[in-house]
């Protein structure tokens, strides 16, 4: 079967030394051995019994293995698929006697083989035309055109990937998107390959002012990747980016954002106040002004919701329904606002995502203003005010990875939030995807986030297991949002199979907040962090003690470095001491963990 041999060759599983002979590569031979052993042991069906179209391996299976090995357990969502392939088994812990589903040796060997394989990149005119008209995704797999074995070749080259667990969603990978960009810039020719690894490498050599053969240069100029023998065209620069991704195929740390609808409205409120007082230097956008304006806006908003959608209250998200019900039942609207919105916590969230800044006015007042990033978000949200979830944004991020595609639930959420259209990311989605990579984060851990974080723990859990403990639909909804925040702030990652794991920064944060006394409330916010950071800047590190000491005379300098008012600094300083991040004039080990965690977040 010529097409099957072609797909195996492109994947790096076989080599074809002559047109009539085929040999397994080293990695291909290992892979064949794993399959043969699984069949011999009765772990999976013999090849002769496979139904037409059955895939023992594919990008979705690789993603299942990768997620399960990362989390050190196989969730119920992917257990049937991995178990029937002979790649997962049940294992009893010798100490606890608890039975756990894990990836077995065969599954681990398959993943090792996958990373060992060196797929080819060979795109001719026919395949190039297919790539240009195929949807970039993420989108339902049924939207991929069926033309010969073109989509199989794209998956073999790792240019597209399918979703866990059944391949319902397809997306161009990070490399696939880069190749698609090059082709969409008009790079083509009638005969021969248009994009190969050697063509991309020659582009890189021209960019580095290295010599290439005259024949190779003719090809680059024919493809309009290079002009005048030495200058990259815009298409050539895109090809250089594709080469970088091809050579450095490593997973990037997940960077997302989570903004609730009330937080977005707060951002717009601060912007509105600055516009209103632009010509009045005596009016400051401080906490009191923000509170007054936001209360008015929320009352007006819920009056409108009550008039237009009040009869549909039961179909609304639980928290919104509860707030609307309370709004209709009370005459004390100020009390209603205080009971349902935590202004200070929302300000912390916006500051932690670098959307607003807190500073001190000339007369010592704490004031707030939008950062350049905040102004960009406000501009987008004016067109359609809505929440932005980590899950919705992650749907686009996963498409940038090596072999991952977001699952169908993520895709639906991204569409609800207007981040994703039917076939590819929306302009708004591209904006937030780019923004998430540009902002510098500050740490935040609310009381609910801390509660969820402790339940996840260093060993991790799954979304289903986590939410099982919440029987009230409202509490379950709030827990889900806290999980979105934990991921967006970089403390955990929710994998495509539903497993939840701590990130490296999360592991440091876990150690930091373990020292916080029970009943403390919200363990960490940007203001507390700014105090810890400022003291570390004016203090001296004692390596053996894992402590930074500050001379009392440097306190005023620390306050200046923090950018806080004296009153705000003092309150946060007291809170940081009560949380055991600080000593009297020192940063303790827990505080050092926080500094290290934030450094990890922003690398």
- Tell which residue, 398, 480, 435, 499, has the closest CA to residue 67: 499
| Contact between residue 522 and residue 450 where contact means Cβ atoms under 8 Å apart | yes
Q: What is the mean pLDDT of residues 333-358?
A: 96
Q: What is the pLDDT of residue 187?
A: 93
**Percent share of the chain, pLDDT over 70:** 99
pLDDT digits (tens, 9 = 90+) for 142-172: 999 999 999 999 999 999 999 999 999 999 9
CA separation, residue 412 to residues 99, 145, 417, 557 (Å): 34, 22, 9, 50
- Residue 252 scores a pLDDT above 80: no
- Residue 353 scores a pLDDT above 80: yes
- Any idea which fold 261-383 has? Arc Repressor Mutant, subunit A (1.10.10)
Q: How far apart are CA 70 and CA 475, in angstroms?
A: 29
- Residue 277 scores a pLDDT above 80: yes
Q: How far apart are CA 505 and CA 493, in angstroms?
A: 11
Q: How far apart are CA 588 and CA 573, in angstroms?
A: 13
Q: What is the mean pLDDT of residues 471-497?
A: 95
pLDDT digits (tens, 9 = 90+) for 498-553: 999 999 999 999 999 998 887 788 899 999 999 999 999 999 989 888 899 999 99
Average per-residue pLDDT for the chain: 93
pLDDT digits (tens, 9 = 90+) for 38-51: 999 999 999 999 99
Q: What is the pLDDT of residue 479?
A: 96
- Residue 397 scores a pLDDT above 80: yes
pLDDT digits (tens, 9 = 90+) for 374-394: 999 999 999 889 999 999 999
- Tell which residue, 128, 122, 114, 113, has the closest CA to residue 10: 122
pLDDT band for position 399 (cuts 50, 70, 90): low
Q: What is the mean pLDDT of residues 470-486?
A: 95
DSSP-assigned letters across all residues of 15-54 = EEEETTEEEE-HHHHHHHHHHHHHHHTTSS--GGGPPTT-
pLDDT digits (tens, 9 = 90+) for 52-95: 989 999 999 999 999 999 999 999 999 999 999 999 999 988 87
How many other C-beta atoms are found inside a 10 Å radius of the C-beta of residue 460?
19
CATH code 1.10.10.10 region(s) in the chain: 261-383
**Percent share of the chain, pLDDT over 90:** 84
Q: How far apart are CA 151 and CA 416, in angstroms?
A: 28
- Residue 256 scores a pLDDT above 80: yes
Task: Tell me which H or E stretch contains 226.
Answer: strand 226-227
Dihedral sign computed on CA atoms, order 409, 415, 416, 419: positive
Where helices occur in 233-371 by DSSP H, the ranges are: 234-247, 261-276, 287-309, 318-329, 333-340, 343-352
The alpha carbons of the chain give a radius of gyration, in whole angstroms, of 28
Side-chain-side CA neighbours of 537 within 13 Å: the count stands at: 15
pLDDT digits (tens, 9 = 90+) for 90-125: 998 887 888 999 999 999 999 999 999 999 999 999
pLDDT digits (tens, 9 = 90+) for 203-241: 999 999 999 999 999 999 999 999 988 899 999 999 999
pTM of the prediction? 0.93
Low-confidence winner among 90-99, 409-418, 590-599 (lowest mean pLDDT): 90-99
pLDDT digits (tens, 9 = 90+) for 214-223: 999 999 999 9
Q: What is the pLDDT of residue 557?
A: 96
Q: What is the pLDDT of residue 184?
A: 96
């Amino acid at each position: 079967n010529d097409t099957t041999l072609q797909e195996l060759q492109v994947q790096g599983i076989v080599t074809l030394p002559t047109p009539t002979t085929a040999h397994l590569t080293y990695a291909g031979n290992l892979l064949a051995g794993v399959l043969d052993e699984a069949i011999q042991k009765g772990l999976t069906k013999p090849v002769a019994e496979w139904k037409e179209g059955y895939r023992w391996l594919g990008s979705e299976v690789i993603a299942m293995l990768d997620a399960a090995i990362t989390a050190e357990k196989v969730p119920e969502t992917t257990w049937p698929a991995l178990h029937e392939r002979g790649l997962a088994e049940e294992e009893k812990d010798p100490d606890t006697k608890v039975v756990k589903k894990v990836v077995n040796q065969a599954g681990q060997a398959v993943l090792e083989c996958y990373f060992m394989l060196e797929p080819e990149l060979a795109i001719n005119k026919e395949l190039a035309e297919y790539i240009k008209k195929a949807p970039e995704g993420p989108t339902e797999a049924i939207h991929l055109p069926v033309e010969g074995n073109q989509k199989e070749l794209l998956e073999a080259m790792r240019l597209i990937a399918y979703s866990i667990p059944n391949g319902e969603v397809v997306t161009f990978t990070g490399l696939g998107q880069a190749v698609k960009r090059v082709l969409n810039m008009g790079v083509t020719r009638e005969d021969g390959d248009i994009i190969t690894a050697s063509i991309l490498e020659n582009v890189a050599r021209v960019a580095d002012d290295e010599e290439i053969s005259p024949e190779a240069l003719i090809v680059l100029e024919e493809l309009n990747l290079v002009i005048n023998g030495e200058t990259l065209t815009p298409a050539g620069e895109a090809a250089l980016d594709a080469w970088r991704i091809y050579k450095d195929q490593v997973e990037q740390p997940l960077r997302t954002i989570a903004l609730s609808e009330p937080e977005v409205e707060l951002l717009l409120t601060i912007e509105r106040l600055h516009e209103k007082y632009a010509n009045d230097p005596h009016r400051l956008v401080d906490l009191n002004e923000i509170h007054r304006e936001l209360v008015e806006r929320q009352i007006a908003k819920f009056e409108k919701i009550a008039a237009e959608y009040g009869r549909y209250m039961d179909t609304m998200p639980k928290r919104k329904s509860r707030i609307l019900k309370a709004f209709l039942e009370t005459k004390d609207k100020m009390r209603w606002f205080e009971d349902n919105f935590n202004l200070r916590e929302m300000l912390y969230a916006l500051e932690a995502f670098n959307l607003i800044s807190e500073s001190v006015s000339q007369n010592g007042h704490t004031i707030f203003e939008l950062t350049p990033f905040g102004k960009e978000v406000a501009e987008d949200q004016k067109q359609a005010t809505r929440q932005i979830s980590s899950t919705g944004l992650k749907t686009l991020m996963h498409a940038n990875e090596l072999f991952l595609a977001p699952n169908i639930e993520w895709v639906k959420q991204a569409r609800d939030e207007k981040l994703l259209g039917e076939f590819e990311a929306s302009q708004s989605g591209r904006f937030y995807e780019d923004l998430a990579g540009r902002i510098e984060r500050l740490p935040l851990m609310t009381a609910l986030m801390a509660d969820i974080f402790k339940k996840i723990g260093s060993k991790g859990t799954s979304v289903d297991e986590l939410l099982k403990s919440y029987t009230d639909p409202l509490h379950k909804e709030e827990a889900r949002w806290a999980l979105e925040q934990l991921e967006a702030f970089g403390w955990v990652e929710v994998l495509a199979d539903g497993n939840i794991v701590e990130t490296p920064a999360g592991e440091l944060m876990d150690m930091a907040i373990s020292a916080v006394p029970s009943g403390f409330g919200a363990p960490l916010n940007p203001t507390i962090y700014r105090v810890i950071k400022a003291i570390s800047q004016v203090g001296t590190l004692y390596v053996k003690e894992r402590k930074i000491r500050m001379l009392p005379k440097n306190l005023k300098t620390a306050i200046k470095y923090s950018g806080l008012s004296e009153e705000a600094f003092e309150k946060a300083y007291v809170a940081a001491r009560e949380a055991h991040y600080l000593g009297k004039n020192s940063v303790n080990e827990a505080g050092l963990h926080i500094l290290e965690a934030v450094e990890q977040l922003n690398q």
